Amino acid sequence: MPNRRLLIVTQAVDPKDSALGFFCEWIQTIASDPRVQTVEIWCLREGEWSEKPANVVVRVFPAKGRVWSFLGRLVTNRFDAVFVHMSPIWVALGGWWWRLTGQRVVLWYTHGSASRELRIALAFVNEVLTATPDAFPIRSAKVRAIGHGVSPRFFAARCDEQDDSSDSRDLDIISVGRISPRKRVRETLALFSEILKRRPGSHFAWIGETLTDADKEYAVQVAQDVERLNLADRVRFMGALPFADMSSAYASADLLLHLSATGSLDKVVLEALAAGCPVLSTNPATSEAVLSAYWGGPLDTTAADEAVERADRGVPMAQRLDVTRRFSLATLVTRILDTCFNRP
């Protein structure tokens, strides 16, 4: 049945948001699907969005009375399907009604936290979609991994073949993610210190912020490492960047160091490769998706040699095309809508 009405419930609709800015492109791709007549979005915050499709309506919950506003909309609106993005609390509150009234409920969730709200939500959803099998913390027959979706903007950021094969050039190296122990910032700085012995004029930038008190305590240790390793004039902590700026950040870098210990495939690896930025990742999940980006050896002088070699070698156009094909945003959205409209 064409011309369906889809409800999307999410946290924020803001292309400038560093964490959720990418979701605006998800919405645009969803809204352009011929099966979808209208998309209504319920969220906590809306930023300036000049490219909002004509068939998309955004409704923001007020800061006060948020739950009552949600419940009021819940019982006065009907949709063909409900897609909840990373917000299990709303399924826990409203899933019973959606299921009672025959509205199909699909939750997207990629996080290691198994909260009480998530466990309640799992009882009400028809299906849970996640990126990789290990990206959802609860085992359930309702869970299905459908991959990541990389925006075409990353490929477009650098469309030329790289020709920076000089074995003496300085390198611009980046890492992307929270400043937290699981992202292994201190180990990354130690590896960069080894790389500097090979390319003394190189620079390193960490793109990401601290989100919790534990992160802030860890950031103190990171700052001490910067001083101990004499990296103050070579390292910058840039904070979080808007999603719209990330494609150029990858495209202008010579290497992404990705020593994350999260266990699941990180989308930043795919985005970097699509933008033509070589990657050295110690996450085993990377090897399953993009073997050439994985490093399984020790983080010592050998790893530093490998990092420099990858930066010099660049990313072949064929590999960039392969990543954008295998992890296409359009393909991901098709899978999401197939699930929402009950065609797994």
Rg of the chain over Cα atoms, rounded to whole angstroms, equals 21
Query: In angstroms, rounded to a whole number, what is the distance separating the alpha carbons of residues 140 and 155?
Result: 35
**Contact of 202 with 171, CB cutoff 8 Å:** yes
CA angle centred on 189, ends 184 and 194, rounded to 5°: 130
For residue 293, what pLDDT is reported? 95
**Contact of 277 with 254, CB cutoff 8 Å:** yes
For residue 163, what pLDDT is reported? 57
For residue 5, what pLDDT is reported? 97
pLDDT in tens, 193-252: 999 999 999 999 999 999 899 999 999 999 999 999 999 999 999 999 999 999 999 999
**Residue 291: pLDDT over 80:** yes
**Contact of 244 with 21, CB cutoff 8 Å:** yes
Q: What are phi and psi of 328, to 5 degrees?
A: -70, 135
> 251: which DSSP letter?
H
For residue 21, what pLDDT is reported? 95
**Residue 148: pLDDT over 80:** yes
Q: Which residue has the tokens 């700052």?
A: 223
Residue 3's pLDDT band, with cuts at 50, 70 and 90, is: confident
Q: How would you class 30 by CB atoms within 10 Å of its CB: exposed for 0-12, middle for 13-18, buried for 19 or more?
A: buried
pTM of the predicted structure, to 2 decimals = 0.92
CB neighbours of residue 19 within 10 Å = 16
- Per-residue burial over 281-298, b if 16 or more Cβ lie within 10 Å, else e, is bbbebbbebbeebbbeee
pLDDT in tens, 82-104: 999 999 999 999 999 999 999 99
When the pLDDT of each residue in the chain is averaged and rounded to a whole number, the result is: 94
For residue 165, what pLDDT is reported? 57
- Which two tokens mark 261? 């210990």
For residue 134, what pLDDT is reported? 87
- Per-residue burial over 148-178, b if 16 or more Cβ lie within 10 Å, else e, is bbbbebbbebbeeebeeeeeeeebbbbbbbb
**Contact of 275 with 166, CB cutoff 8 Å:** no
pLDDT in tens, 46-86: 999 989 999 999 999 999 999 999 999 999 999 999 999 99
Q: Which domains does the chain have, with CATH numbers?
A: 4-149+328-340 (3.40.50.2000), 153-325 (3.40.50.2000)
Which alpha helices (H) appear in 125-212, and where do they start and end? 152-156, 185-198
CB neighbours of residue 33 within 10 Å = 17
